[in-house]
């Protein structure tokens, strides 16, 4: 059995179809039900999309290669049980029937699998077809082809369905895309607009229905008005996009702003020209480096515009870490195909699970009636299957799609004799695949890490109770306990009560040597439950156990004390949830070194699943699910493990592996050292979602930490009666703060209006490509669909709302500058009549620049270098350093304002002493506006007196005028503004006429008083506004300087990093992210410091102005009282 093929054939290389498979081969196709053999010619289309066969009547049948689950020949191929059929299908004289048979296995889920059998003349032909078909079926491009390739696939399907004369039937095209009468008319209309016949019985020559013709038909059918709108916005309404405009589109819209420009250079003009050459089919525009709408649409649907970074699909994780550092794709009660109590068992589902990337399967061994061990769900109505057949199936399928280690989780209820037989079967069937002893480099000793997956390639690891010989020692007695607590015994009300988690000591260890109760779901009494416990491990099978030794979990403290990383424990979902809630941080730390397995609760009789993300958040490696149920949890599991070449292992984030990092799974704030992200997804439209005429909608959910998980919140409107080209609008779904992007996945699901799932896709947040992207949908099993969605994705690092502008500036200072200029221009139009006059606008004097240079020097802002940061937490150090800067910041004097009319006043109003305020007040009262109003008052009073003298006192007019001139000169001083004009007494001698004159004088003086102080109050408020604006401008200048300095520093650091060739790509990427995060953190912190400093200045300035305003108002009341008093006295006199 050691000769079994083990090489994993999963690949991302372009699909290549061997010439022999394209040309075809003669086979006899048979199935057991019909009892006949049918001669056919078997072929594969040149693109590798379909396996199809033609019979003697030229009738064509086909099978989508993406749906092929397995291809077998030799001992594992199907052969007819009926001797008559065997005689019919046996052709050729060489080789046995098994060796000349090719069995193709396909299906829409793990349970309902269909087999198609073909017999040929020689075993070499069978081997060629088996290898070729399997390699094509598991080429990752079958799943991850760009949207335009799925259109090619549709076109291929239509052409393969041609009639006997080789012509394409119009009715086949219509039937493929529509069921409803109205939708059929839409398809016919699109055919007509494409210049193709539309009649029900019409045919199309294949030479007139090449892919270009089909693509034109697709555009007429789906219209793609939403893409046309995007295109028009980019071209400003012109019919083509220039190469420069394409460069800008690639760098601004389609580029991840978090990428480093050294490691990931910006698109240049040559890149744009290459894309135009590839996707622009109009030679005229191609020669002029112009991209039309047709070429733009092709680009958006191409492999050059993927939704997920291609490296995420390939083997991208470091596979040299200890085994406990990975999430491992795991199955629960693998043998079951349905209900936990009344379902069926299957050998085949072991193959299907392993082929799908599962790396941990469960086997429940029980004593067989004929002394042969069987696998069965104990004390249920589930039929048994042969243990030997299961082991053979595992050996044959374990490493066909992944060569990384497989863990067999044994739950052993057999007697010693049958246990020994199981051990012998393992050795015989698995051969050198069986890891029956520890590696020399990784011995079983306290503190020793588990070996990495890379050192365990093509190895099968047994998880079974380990027999220990030193039970008198407490630690060893604990180690001898079974991994899973005593069985859950159903009570009278049907509830299942789990055993306690905290049993300790040798006196209880024997009781804990039992199964987890996974197999005793219900329907048995407590006595039977006691009998259901696992038996003691026999010496033979115990010898096979090494790196995965199950023990009863007592406490995190006990596990830490023993320090045995090769010991692991299992928990049902209820127990694991309790631990997660009560000891989340300890649970994460435990999983940094030891394996833990979580399985569904025994009450899930219907084989439903819990959400695996809950326990991935705690770092649990073996989160076991019921593969037979393709519910949401299983869909998420399949989608998550689709990445890293579907090898079944995903490296946990760094903070879940390192001792010096701490993670609380319930954290809502940013985790130390991790950059939170912001994700925005806009679902613009759908294409070919369903052939039904019904309403459709799309939901976008996120799964991650509890703080990151968002479900049933984001849903588009329903696009009514349209499954062909629904447009959903432009409402973005914003995931404002993703605390841990590395753990987060988004699920995009399209539904019919009734709620039925059309298709979905699970995407890693960390691998998402921003911009306008098409995403092709999958079935529940993860098989590709022709349906697609157009999304607009925006990704960036998270910052609080008030600092979002700063973060954008740090990522792109040039854009930030242009945005500020644009905003300033827009504001200028709005404030054209109310802004400060140009000559009074504040400037940046030399003193202010010296002040800023002093600040920069004192803050000692140096280039941020990753190598200078402490090991483990560079961001933390940066933040702490900035906090110190904030704490030590000495608030300096406010920024001076070089205002022509108020520079001197400003320097005084910033003072807070009574003396300085008094001086400022006096300066105010001597302003030009005050002098002009006083002069105006004097002129009016002089005119009034002249008029009065002329009419009433001509004899004394000369004296009065000269006296008035003297008084005018005296009253030019503001201190004397309230003194009555000399000569009032003389005027008062005139009786009633004098009283009238005094009343007029009083009115003029009061009017002047109010005008002067109103002007002064307005001046003070304008002065405050000017100085506040000056502070705001100064703050913006300081921010710009910070942005420029940090951006330059970051560039220098990255350039220096790029010159260091002694580091691998992952290390460079890590350091690059640290440099970027340091830059953002430092910039945010420095701007916080600036905000605080300027806030103090604004407060100080506002306080000074308030006091000055209060003094001014007080002076106004005093002057008013004095004016009233003197005018009153003059009147009396």
Q: Would you list which residues are annotated within the binding site for Ca(2+)?
A: 333, 362, 364, 411
- Answer yes or no: 377 catalytic: yes
Catalytic: which of 332, 339, 751, 1076?
Answer: 332
Q: Count the helix, strand and coil residues of the chain and give each as a percent rounded to the nearest 5.
A: 45, 15, 40
Burial-class residue 863 by CB neighbours within 10 Å (0-12, 13-18, 19+).
Answer: middle
* Rounded CA separation 1129/1133 (Å): 6
> What does each C-alpha distance from 73 to 100, 126, 410 come to in angstroms?
7, 7, 29
* Rounded CA separation 530/538 (Å): 20
Residue 348, both tokens: 């085949």
Is the Cβ–Cβ distance between 1099 and 1091 less than 8 Å?
A: no
* Rounded CA separation 739/728 (Å): 29
* Rounded CA separation 1030/147 (Å): 55
For the annotated binding site, the residues are 333, 362, 364, 411
Q: How many CB atoms lie within 10 A of CB 579?
A: 22
Closest to 654 measured CA to CA, from 359, 1076, 326, 1062:
326
Residue 885, both tokens: 């800067």
* Rounded CA separation 393/395 (Å): 5
Catalytic: which of 377, 552, 593, 1076?
Answer: 377
3-class DSSP state for residue 308?
Answer: strand
Place of tokens 């795991």: 330
Place of tokens 């109310």: 834
For every residue of 60-107, DSSP letters joined together read: EEEEEGGGEEEEE-GGGS---SSHHHHHHH--SSSS-TTTTEEEEEEE
Is the Cβ–Cβ distance between 571 and 583 less than 8 Å?
A: no
- Answer yes or no: 1009 catalytic: no
* Rounded CA separation 143/137 (Å): 9
Helix (H) or strand (E) holding 862, with range, is: none
DSSP 891: P
3-class DSSP state for residue 788?
Answer: strand
Length of the chain (residues): 1133
Is the Cβ–Cβ distance between 307 and 763 less than 8 Å?
A: yes
Helix (H) or strand (E) holding 496, with range, is: strand 496-497
Closest to 873 measured CA to CA, from 670, 722, 1028, 661:
661
3-class DSSP state for residue 339?
Answer: coil
Closest to 1011 measured CA to CA, from 940, 939, 934:
934
Closest to 532 measured CA to CA, from 553, 518, 551, 552:
518
Catalytic (active-site) positions: 332, 377
């Amino acid at each position: 059995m050691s000769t079994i093929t083990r090489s994993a054939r999963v690949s991302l290389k372009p699909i290549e179809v061997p010439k022999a498979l394209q040309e075809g081969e003669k086979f006899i196709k048979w199935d057991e039900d019909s009892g006949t053999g049918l001669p056919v010619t078997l072929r594969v289309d040149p693109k590798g999309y379909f396996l199809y066969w033609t019979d003697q009547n030229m009738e064509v049948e086909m099978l989508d290669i993406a749906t092929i689950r397995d291809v077998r020949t030799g001992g594992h191929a199907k052969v007819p049980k009926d001797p008559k059929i065997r005689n019919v299908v046996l052709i050729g004289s060489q080789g046995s029937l098994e060796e000349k048979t090719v069995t193709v296995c396909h299906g829409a889920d793990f349970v309902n699998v269909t087999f198609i059998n073909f017999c040929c003349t020689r075993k070499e032909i069978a081997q060629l077809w088996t290898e070729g078909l399997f390699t094509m079926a598991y080429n990752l491009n079958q799943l991850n082809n760009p949207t335009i390739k799925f259109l090619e696939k549709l076109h291929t399907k239509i052409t393969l369905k041609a009639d006997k004369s080789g012509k394409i039937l119009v009715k086949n095209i219509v039937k493929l895309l529509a069921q409803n009468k109205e939708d059929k008319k839409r398809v016919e209309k699109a055919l007509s607009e494409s210049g193709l016949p539309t009649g029900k019985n019409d045919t199309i020559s294949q030479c007139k229905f090449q892919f270009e013709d089909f693509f034109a038909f697709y555009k007429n059918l789906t219209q793609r008005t939403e893409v046309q709108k995007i295109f028009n916005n980019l071209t400003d309404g012109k019919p083509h996009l220039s190469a420069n405009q394409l460069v800008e589109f690639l760098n601004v819209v389609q580029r991840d702003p978090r990428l480093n420009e050294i490691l990931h250079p910006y698109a240049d003009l040559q890149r744009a020209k290459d894309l135009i050459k590839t996707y622009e089919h109009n030679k005229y525009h191609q020669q002029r480096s112009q991209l039309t709408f047709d070429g733009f649409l092709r680009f958006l649907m191409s492999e050059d515009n993927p939704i997920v970074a291609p490296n995420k699909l390939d083997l991208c994780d470091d596979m040299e870490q200890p085994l406990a550092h990975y999430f491992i794709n795991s199955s629960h009660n693998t043998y079951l195909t349905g209900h936990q109590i009344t379902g069926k068992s299957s050998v085949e589902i072991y193959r299907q699970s392993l082929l799908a990337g599962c790396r941990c399967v469960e086997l429940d061994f029980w004593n067989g009636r004929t002394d042969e061990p069987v696998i069965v769900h104990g004390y249920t109505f589930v039929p048994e299957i042969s243990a030997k057949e299961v082991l053979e199936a595992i050996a044959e399928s374990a490493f066909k799609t992944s060569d990384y280690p497989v863990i067999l989780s044994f739950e052993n209820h057999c007697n010693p004799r049958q246990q020994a037989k199981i051990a012998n079967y393992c050795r015989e069937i698995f051969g050198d695949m069986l890891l029956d002893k520890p590696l020399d480099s990784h011995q079983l000793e306290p503190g020793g890490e588990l070996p990495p997956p890379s050192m365990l390639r093509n190895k099968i690891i047994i998880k079974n109770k380990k027999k220990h010989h030193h039970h008198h020692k407490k630690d060893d007695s604990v180690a001898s306990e079974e991994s899973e607590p005593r069985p859950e015994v159903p009570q009278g009300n049907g509830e299942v009560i789990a055993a306690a988690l905290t049993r300790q000591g040798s006196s209880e260890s024997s009781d804990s040597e039992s199964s987890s109760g996974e197999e005793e779901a219900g329907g048995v009494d407590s006595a039977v439950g006691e009998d259901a416990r696992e038996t003691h491990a026999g010496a033979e099978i115990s010898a096979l156990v090494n790196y995965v030794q199950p023990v009863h979990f007592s406490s995190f403290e006990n596990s830490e004390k023993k320090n045995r990383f090769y010991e692991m424990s299992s928990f049902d979902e209820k127990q694991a949830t309790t631990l997660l809630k009560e000891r989340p941080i300890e649970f994460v730390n435990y999983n940094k070194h030891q394996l833990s397995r979580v399985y569904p609760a025994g009450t899930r009789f219907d084989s439903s699943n819990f959400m695996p993300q809950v326990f991935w958040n705690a770092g649990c490696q073996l989160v076991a699910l019921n593969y037979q149920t393709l519910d949401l949890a299983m869909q998420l599991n399949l989608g998550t493990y689709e990445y890293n070449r579907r090898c079944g292992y995903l490296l946990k984030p760094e903070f879940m592996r390192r001792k010096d990092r701490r993670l609380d799974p319930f954290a809502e704030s940013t985790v130390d050292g991790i950059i939170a992200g912001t994700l925005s997804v806009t679902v613009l439209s759908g294409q070919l979602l369903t052939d039904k005429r019904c309403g459709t909608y799309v939901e976008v959910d996120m799964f991650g930490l509890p703080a990151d998980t968002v479900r049933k919140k984001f849903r588009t409107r329903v696009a009514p009666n349209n499954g062909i080209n629904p447009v959903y609008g432009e409402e973005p779904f914003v995931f404002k703060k993703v605390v841990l992007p590395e753990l987060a996945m988004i699920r995009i699901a399209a539904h019919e209006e009734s709620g039925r799932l059309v298709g979905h896709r699970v995407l890693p947040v960390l691998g998402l490509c921003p911009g306008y992207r098409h995403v092709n949908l999958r079935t529940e099993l993860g098989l590709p669909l022709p349906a697609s969605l157009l999304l607009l994705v925006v990704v960036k690092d998270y910052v609080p709302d008030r600092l979002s502008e700063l973060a954008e500036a740090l990522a792109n200072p040039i854009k930030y500058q242009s945005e500020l200029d644009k905003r300033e221009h827009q504001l200028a139009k709005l404030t054209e009549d109310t802004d400060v006059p140009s000559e009074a606008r504040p400037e940046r004097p030399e003193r202010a620049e010296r002040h800023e240079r002093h600040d920069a020097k004192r803050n000692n802002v140096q280039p941020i270098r990753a190598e200078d940061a402490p090991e483990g937490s560079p961001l933390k150090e940066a933040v702490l350093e900035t906090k110190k800067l904030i704490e030590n910041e000495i608030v300096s004097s406010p920024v001076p304002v070089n205002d022509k009319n108020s520079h001197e006043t400003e320097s005084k109003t910033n003072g807070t002493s009574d003396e300085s305020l008094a001086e400022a007040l006096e300066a105010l009262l001597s302003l030009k506006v005050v002098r002009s109003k006083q002069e105006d008052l004097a002129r009016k009073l002089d005119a009034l007196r002249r008029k009065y003298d002329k009419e009433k006192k001509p004899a004394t007019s000369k004296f009065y005028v000269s006296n008035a001139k003297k008084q005018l000169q005296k009253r030019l001083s503001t201190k004397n503004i309230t003194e009555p004009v000399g000569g009032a007494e003389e005027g008062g001698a005139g009786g009633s006429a004098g009283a009238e004159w005094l009343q007029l004088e009083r009115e003029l003086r009061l009017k002047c008083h109010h005008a002067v102080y109103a002007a002064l109050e307005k001046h003070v408020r304008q002065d405050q506004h000017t100085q506040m604006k000056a502070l705001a401008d100064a703050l913006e200048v300081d921010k710009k300087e910070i942005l420029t300095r940090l951006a330059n520093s970051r560039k220098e650091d990255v350039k220096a990093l790029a010159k260091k060739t002694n580091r691998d790509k992952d290390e460079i990427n890590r350091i690059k992210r640290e440099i970027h995060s340091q830059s953002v953190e430092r910039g945010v912190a420095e701007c916080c410091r600036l905000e605080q400093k300027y806030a103090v200045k604004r407060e100080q300035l506002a306080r000074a102005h308030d006091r000055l305003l209060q003094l001014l108002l007080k002076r106004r009341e005093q002057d008013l009282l004095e004016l009233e008093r003197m005018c009153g006295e003059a009147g009396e006199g």
